[in-house]
Structure 1
Amino acid sequence: MKRLLSTALLCLVTSFASQASAQVNVGVDASDPWLGFMNVFELPENGGGYVFGDAWGVPDLVAEFTGDDLRLSPNVINDPNEFWYQNTTGTAPDPSNPGGPGQRGNKNMAASMYIQDDSLLGENVIFSGNVNAHSFTSAHTTTAFIKEFDGAFNLLFSSTMELTTAGAFTISLEIDDIPGNHVQYGFETVGENVWSTDVAPFGSISIDAVAAPPTPSFGSYSQNFESVGLAGTDPTALASGSEGDIQPGSDGKHGWSTFVNVFDGSDNYKFGYGTNPAPNEDPPAGFSQVVAGQGAGGATDQYLNAFSDYGCCDLAEPTQQGHGNGTDMVQTNLFQEYEVGSDDVGRAIEFSFDIKLPGGDQAANALGASGSATAEMFIKTLDPNDFSETGRTDVDILTGIAGLNDATWTNHTLNFAITSDMVGDVFQFGIESTASNFDPTGVFLDNLNMGDASSANADFNGDLIVNGEDFLTWQENEGSTGALADGDADGNGTINGLDLAVWQAQYGPVPQATASIAGVPEPASAALVLLGMVCLGGTRRRVR
């Protein structure tokens, strides 16, 4: 079975991998030729079975444009027949009481309003828009979709997002370049049919007719702290970010920020404060300072000292004691922050840094010198509405960084994948420490670099093309440890979703300027003919 899957993937990529997919942005435009299709199902309590499907006019779905605004509402059926309505008196069935206002619908309607554009074959399609208002009850849902069908309109692949609140949305799908396939994007509204006079209580959804423009990439960051003012001489140097940031649209001085969460001794959340500009002060002012003398590039180089907020918190206030009561856990975050844009989807990000523990006369301040404090270097994304984490990769500084000591600097790299569901999220990278009772947390950092993973490589079998064969290698070893030949694209020794993200980003021929091509034979023409014959038996799409 594995050999058949491998052959199918190889067929697909051999035929089409030489054609690089272009990103095509599509949206909601009233002037486009929108189509309608209705699939009708029994209610769940009646088994939920499929009844029929047919092309319907867009107004019959119900969907309508008002200027640049698209409004989707529950489907209306004004036919009292018991096929469409549960004829009841009160809650009891009553065939003599025909359907009409107030009667519950008897079918589940899946109304699709869509654009079919087969010119999108072979492209990376990004569908975006903006929900202006959402008042649907739980009885109805609307989902944005991109779908790829075969020539007989059997669904092959799709990307979907249920639209549950007001705000922008973006989904993407890489479409196969297979002649005869079909591409559709649009909206599906699902729920029971209602009588025309009963529509209002069920609500509706309103969507911008103009797609939300893509937000820019957040670029990269590099910092060695050599041009940052020292602690005690320039208290705002870290907050102003005097070097490193190249975020598009910024002034080049996007700086470091802080946020603190405080938990009681049972790990229950108590309170938090921030986001605030990072200070550049000596302890116990809290968080961070730029100092000189032990930098990674030489004895006089500058570096960042990161530590807990030992000023936390007001000892006169019983609910806000932090370090002072000996049991509260103070979680201190020092970070750079950006917004994930649609242009960032598919990026494999790496965050590399030099790190060491304080030594000499500062050894007592080092993380782990005493007490039970912990600290992690991290990359994460957060929902901008409630700041819950939507993605994270991290490393425990004391247990996860090989060779960490207080005498020499050690380099470490974190990797992170940007996916389409992260567009609009907050992107952060930095250090997080958790400590109580003034336990030492000092960590020295230098030469921080965040950007695209230039060293990542998803050509696991070394054949100069990132394709289905490489995906199979990753799939067979996911969750284990290994090297490049086992599917470890980012070189961290673990085979996981980060490596899959690199495979997605690098899919296609390896640039020959950086690849050795000696000893790679051209396949014999007879083998190509045989491969083409095998491909007629079926294909399997590359995973996105």
Structure 2
Amino acid sequence: MKKNYIFIALMVMALLPATAQTAINFDPTSTEGTGWIGFMNVFETPANGSGYVFGSGWGTVDLVVEDNMDGSVTLKPNRLNDTDGFWQTGNLTGNKIMDATYYLEDDSLAGTSITFNGQVVSNTLDDSTLDYPITYEAFIKVFAPDYSSFTSYTYDLSEGNFTITLAAAQSAVGDHIQYGFNMTGPNINIDMSFDAAYDALGGITIDENSTLSLESSELNEFTVYPNPTTSGWNINSTKQINSIQVYDVLGKQVVDLNPNSNEVTIDTSNLISGIYIAKINSESESKTMKLIKK
């Protein structure tokens, strides 16, 4: 009888469907989930203490995301159409740091295996004339059911095709799945006298992935949570992390660690609120990630 039970169990397992992988190729006209929407976290500049001001839904035109009407979009530095001194300084570099996210949320993907694919057609961003740098990335984010924390799987937006992979085990039903793009930097003065300087900052043009490679990039193997945080960042890697340097937005190093481990926690108790850049190094690769301290 025992052998029969085993045989029946094997038959049932054979009838179960294999876990399918959903390949999502970037399409700015997609209406899956929420469709493409915007969110902005606003911070004071480092000169004003770098504190968190507020976060809210945001129009994609004001992020700035330009729809090229050919299946591609261009991500550009934020340039809020508001002349109030809350946003502007009178100079090219404005009075706030804008953490702009252009994304789609589709909770039906929770607990499944997915890839987010796209192509960076061109990347001409040049922040050398600004007081503070611009950072950018493509991502898949897995938010907790109450949005209290998230894990981010990211890819630096150098030119060429990209693929970000999320395994089924890396999320669960009830989580919120977002994928898209992030650009963080200072608000640019809206005055017409700065139009030429704004155009010179360039942008990043994103289109569909022309090869749809399903190979996971080495750059996807680092994860960080919670982010934003109030106490500390946990960083995990499938490979040993040799060193981590964390810099504030002015380029000052505030953390220097040599964990030689796959897991490390960065204590933020001595850091002020704001945006930080972490450079994470293993034996075979280097990864830059944006970190937020509330």
Fold agreement, TM-score > 0.5? yes
Measure the CA separation in 2 of the matches of 1:189 and 1:422: 18
Amino acid in structure 1 at the alignment position of 2:139? F
CA contact (8 A) 1:172 1:420 kept: no
Residue 107 of structure 1, CA deviation = 0.6
CA contact (8 A) 2:141 2:150 kept: yes
CA contact (8 A) 1:171 1:420 kept: no
Residue 125 of structure 1, CA deviation = 1.9
TM, length-normalised to structure 2: 0.59
| Residue 199 of structure 2: aligned partner | 200
Shift of the 191–19 alpha-carbon distance from structure 1 to 2, 3 Å rule, reads: farther
Measure the CA separation in 1 of the matches of 2:125 and 2:137: 12
Measure the CA separation in 2 of the matches of 1:20 and 1:160: 27
Query: Could you report, residue by residue, the CA deviation over 1:428-463 in whole angstroms, capped at 9, with x for unpaired residues?
Result: xxxxxxxxxxxxxxxxxxxxxxxxxxxxxxxxxxxx
Measure the CA separation in 2 of the matches of 1:185 and 1:39: 17
| Residue 56 of structure 1: aligned partner | 58
| Residue 167 of structure 2: aligned partner | 174
1:153 to 121, 128, 147: 147
Residue 49 of structure 1, CA deviation = 1.4
| Residue 105 of structure 2: aligned partner | 116
| Residue 272 of structure 2: aligned partner | none
Query: Could you report, residue by residue, the CA deviation over 1:485-542 in whole angstroms, capped at 9, with x for unpaired residues?
Result: xxxxxxxxxxx98xxxxxxxxxxxxxxxxxxxxxxxxxxxxxxxxxxxxxxxxxxxxx
| Residue 260 of structure 1: aligned partner | none
Measure the CA separation in 1 of the matches of 2:111 and 2:17: 8
Report how many aligned residue pairs link the two structures: 195
| Residue 75 of structure 1: aligned partner | 78
| Residue 130 of structure 2: aligned partner | none
Measure the CA separation in 2 of the matches of 1:59 and 1:190: 15
Q: Secondary structure at the match of 1:119?
A: helix
Amino acid in structure 2 at the alignment position of 1:204? G
Aligned-residue sequence identity (percent) comes to 38
Q: Secondary structure at the match of 2:174?
A: coil
Residue 19 of structure 1, CA deviation = 9.0
Amino acid in structure 2 at the alignment position of 1:200? D
Measure the CA separation in 1 of the matches of 2:28 and 2:79: 22
Measure the CA separation in 2 of the matches of 1:157 and 1:212: 27
Shift of the 76–142 alpha-carbon distance from structure 1 to 2, 3 Å rule, reads: same
Shift of the 154–212 alpha-carbon distance from structure 1 to 2, 3 Å rule, reads: farther
| Residue 512 of structure 1: aligned partner | none
CA contact (8 A) 1:113 1:186 kept: yes
Shift of the 211–47 alpha-carbon distance from structure 1 to 2, 3 Å rule, reads: same
Shift of the 120–44 alpha-carbon distance from structure 1 to 2, 3 Å rule, reads: same
Amino acid in structure 1 at the alignment position of 2:135? T
Amino acid in structure 1 at the alignment position of 2:116? F
Q: Secondary structure at the match of 2:61?
A: helix
| Residue 211 of structure 1: aligned partner | 209
Show structure 1 runs of 5+ residues with no match.
1-17, 87-98, 216-341, 346-418, 424-474, 480-495, 498-544
Query: Could you report, residue by residue, the CA deviation over 1:127-158 in whole angstroms, capped at 9, with x for unpaired residues?
Result: 12111111112432221010011222123311
Measure the CA separation in 2 of the matches of 1:29 and 1:133: 17
Query: Could you report, residue by residue, the CA deviation over 1:42-61 in whole angstroms, capped at 9, with x for unpaired residues?
Result: 11232221100110121121
CA contact (8 A) 1:120 1:183 kept: yes
Measure the CA separation in 2 of the matches of 1:46 and 1:185: 31
Q: Secondary structure at the match of 2:93?
A: coil
| Residue 25 of structure 1: aligned partner | 23
Larger Rg: 1
Measure the CA separation in 2 of the matches of 1:201 and 1:153: 37
Query: Could you report, residue by residue, the CA deviation over 1:55-102 in whole angstroms, capped at 9, with x for unpaired residues?
Result: 01211211022111110111112333221122xxxxxxxxxxxx3xx4
CA contact (8 A) 2:45 2:97 kept: yes
Residue 166 of structure 1, CA deviation = 1.6
TM, length-normalised to structure 1: 0.33
Residue 38 of structure 1, CA deviation = 0.7
Measure the CA separation in 1 of the matches of 2:19 and 2:50: 39
Relative contact order, higher structure (CA 8 A, sep 6+): 2
Measure the CA separation in 1 of the matches of 2:210 and 2:185: 27
CA contact (8 A) 1:21 1:122 kept: no
Paired residues for 1:428-443 under 5 Å: none
Measure the CA separation in 1 of the matches of 2:48 and 2:17: 48
Greater share of residues in strand: 2
| Residue 303 of structure 1: aligned partner | none
Amino acid in structure 1 at the alignment position of 2:61? P
| Residue 398 of structure 1: aligned partner | none
Measure the CA separation in 1 of the matches of 2:67 and 2:83: 28
Shift of the 182–20 alpha-carbon distance from structure 1 to 2, 3 Å rule, reads: farther
Measure the CA separation in 1 of the matches of 2:67 and 2:123: 16
Amino acid in structure 2 at the alignment position of 1:158? S
Paired residues for 1:509-524 under 5 Å: none
Measure the CA separation in 2 of the matches of 1:71 and 1:31: 14
Measure the CA separation in 2 of the matches of 1:422 and 1:58: 26
| Residue 190 of structure 1: aligned partner | 184
1:129 aligns with 2:129: no
1:140 aligns with 2:134: yes
CA contact (8 A) 1:26 1:211 kept: no
